[in-house]
Amino acid sequence: MQVRFASERPQGAYALALLVSKVEGDDPRLPSGSPAGLIDASAQQQRFDGEAAGIAEMFLGEENGARRVLLIGLGKEAATGALYEKIGGTLAARLLCSGETSLVIDLSGLGLDGDAAARVALGAALRSWRHDAYRTTLKAKQRPTLTEVVVVGGSADAEILWQARYAPVVAGVSFARDLVTEPANVIYPVSFVDRCRSLADLGVEIEILEPEEMKRLGMNSLLAVAQGSAQPARLLAMHWNGAKDAGDDARTVAFVGKGVTFDTGGISIKPAAGMEAMKWDMGGAAAVAGAMTVLAMRKAKANVIGVCTLAENMPSGTAQRPGDVVTSMSGQTIEVINTDAEGRMVLCDAMTWVQQKHEPEIMIDLATLTGAMIISLGHEYAGVFCNDDALAAQIDAAGKASGDSTWRLPLGEAYDRLIDSPIADMKNSGPREGGSITAASFLGRYVEEGVKWAHIDIAGMVWANKAAPLWDKGATGYGVRLIDQLVEDLFEV
């Protein structure tokens, strides 16, 4: 999707969208000669009265034919950045396969600043993402036709904001969506790493640990998850040193993403129905990779380490078994109760590694960790568990600002005791009740003293079974904007 900004409408064929608070048939932005009565009647018949992101569509005659015109509502309350994104996304969804190739969104006369104009374009670009690589028999009417969005009448800094702030977001979210959408025979630990190697061209330093090195370091928990698969595990670390000029005063934040590229459950195998969805069990790693793309493209003034724990959880004669005991890199021992509780086992070694080697001030992990989180919060929020109230508040604020919504849940000694093991330091799975909390408690045992830590369970957020203003059914790219916003809030304000 090409995005352009202009001071006036172009010539030629395009669909025209006008942002309105109410229907006014004599709006000077409408094509000249448009009959006011017809416009009013058309909007009324579509039950459109300017409600937020509501649409009335009509064809109006012009000198050389007819033009598709869409009135889209600004609502009755003060418009927000999120509404401008929703407006852009709603328009793109309406026209993506409509036969129109160009959409002009005219903001003239509304007095909108550059950020509002850029966020209209952002919404349109995010909603236009598609993954049609394997769809070879689409009918003509099912194929996207919209290739260009032109935003007219925003302030002069809209283009600057777009290039510096929002085009990188589109690139990062799209990258994450691509990774999540690809099937497991295409994206597996080694190919995930290969996809991320291009970040080196943006100035990201790439570090890769292979099984031999992980074994030497004692990452037996991560390797135990991978041992049933023919696909070897990888640990991918991406370093963005955007605050290197700060010298010894530069703080570091680490983001650790769960990257189980396919999760059968292992020996504790999942039911067959719906198992194909487990290709997106690497959504946390995809979010981290996408966010590193954004940070590098916009040259974020922060030092960030993104770690992806990459493994495939398969049942085989070499797979770990319920009842096995493994020693993690930290030296703590784990009794494997359920091999389908594998995400915490790949994360804990990566958390130990990044703390020992890089000593981050803040460490945040993102993982599609528990089905219990979907039961608790549905598909509206990711769950946050945190050992620092200020950090939890900052994550909440970043979620509100980015649209990647979060909700904090509790931790505590009573929950932590539920994963005590009679023969090891801990069990990898507790009782059914409080399942998301005990999973977070497991990870909390790997946080070193003085490190501010948050665990974000994104199980209900990385994949959508219904379309929304900023995505179609499928991969959402959740987590990319949250990380990007959080880095900006923590280090760049």
Q: In sequence order, what DSSP letters do the residues of 10-36 get, joined into one string?
A: PSSS-EEEEEESS--TT-TTSPTT--H
How far, CA to CA in Å, does 367 sit from each of 45, 148, 346? 46, 35, 10
* 406/415 Cα distance (integer angstroms): 21
3-state helix vs strand vs coil in the chain, percent to 5? 40, 20, 40
Of 67, 86, 177, 344, which one is the catalytic site residue? 344
Sequence-distant (6+) residues with CB within 8 A of 256 are 284, 288, 307, 308, 309, 347, 350, 351, 354, 363, 364, 365, 366
* 178/459 Cα distance (integer angstroms): 17
Give me the phi and psi of 397, to 5 degrees please: -65, -40
Is 279 a known active-site residue? no
Sequence-distant (6+) residues with CB within 8 A of 268 are 322, 338, 339, 340
Tell me the β-bridge partners of 254: 305, 363
* 92/98 Cα distance (integer angstroms): 10
Number of residues in the chain: 493
Q: Pick the closest to residue 383 from 285, 459, 284 (CA basis).
A: 459
Of 130, 195, 270, 408, which one is the catalytic site residue? 270
Edge-first strand listing for the sheet containing 325-327: 325-327, 333-335, 426-427
In the chain, the amino acid numbered 311 is A
Q: In sequence order, what DSSP letters do the residues of 67-95 get, joined into one string?
A: EEEEEEE--SSPP-HHHHHHHHHHHHHHH
Sequence-distant (6+) residues with CB within 8 A of 415 are 430, 434, 437, 438, 441
Is 141 a known active-site residue? no
Sequence-distant (6+) residues with CB within 8 A of 400 are none
Kindly list the catalytic residues: 270, 344
